[in-house]
Structures are given as C-alpha cells and as structure tokens.
Amino acid sequence: MKREYGIARCGLACCLCSENTTCQGCLGDNCAFMDACENRNCSKEKQYGHCYECDKECRKGMLSKSKPYGFTLFAKRYGEEKLLDCLAANEKNGIVYHREGIFGDYDVFDDVEELIQFILTGKRG
C-alpha cells in the first residue's frame, strides 16, 4: 500500500491501485482524464478535495459504481484516515484491491452497506 497516494476524489483507492506507478491520480493537474472526469470536475467546481466532502446524494460519474460509491460513503461516515487504516489492515490480511486487471475483492458487492461492512471487518457476510 502506498498510503501517500490516498483516495481519489471519487473514492477509488489510489493507494492500492496497481496502476499507481504510472498514474498520478486526479488530485493533481496531471490526470490523463481530467477533462472528461465528471467527479473531478464537479468537486473542483464546488471546491471540494473529494466527493465525500459534499453533502449531496450523488451517483454520477464513477459514483454510479458500487466500489467508489461505497468507499465515498465510508469516508463520509468514518473519515478518510479510517478508510485508509481499514484498507491497510485488509491488505495485510490478504484482501486484494486489484486481483484480475482492475477487478478485486472489493468489486464483488452490489450492496453498498455490505461493502462498507467488508471494509470495516475484512469479512464477508
């Protein structure tokens, strides 16, 4: 885990991403998709560093997907540091963010509340 990479604006875990050796993420101005990313543009326009800072219920852009939406809700409830702590503990316990391509253990959840419990406990069900 590269904790210093943190969490993307949309909630994706840059700190665990297998692409983080070449990707500079969306927090800076070097993002390859910065013009097209709805979440990056919206949060910058509203002067938020992350979508979890916004009080609106939103499912646009990457937030239409369970993993980034669940990570965003987690950060809203518990804070980014707690999210990073849980992701680090889960990684130590064998939970993989990207197992096949960009699909991993956090991608199997359709229910966001189940995903949040998995992040907290590292256990399914």
Give the C-alpha separation, 94 to 80, whole Å: 21
Closest CA to 17 of 78, 104, 80, 89: 104
Predicted model pTM: 0.91
Give the pLDDT mean for 89-107.
93
Whether the CA torsion 106, 34, 79, 62 is positive or negative: it is: negative
Q: What is the pLDDT of residue 24?
A: 66
Phi and psi at 100, nearest 5°, equal -130, 110
Domain ranges of the chain: 3-121
Give the pLDDT mean for 32-37.
76
Higher pLDDT, 117 or 124: 117
Q: What is the pLDDT of residue 18?
A: 78
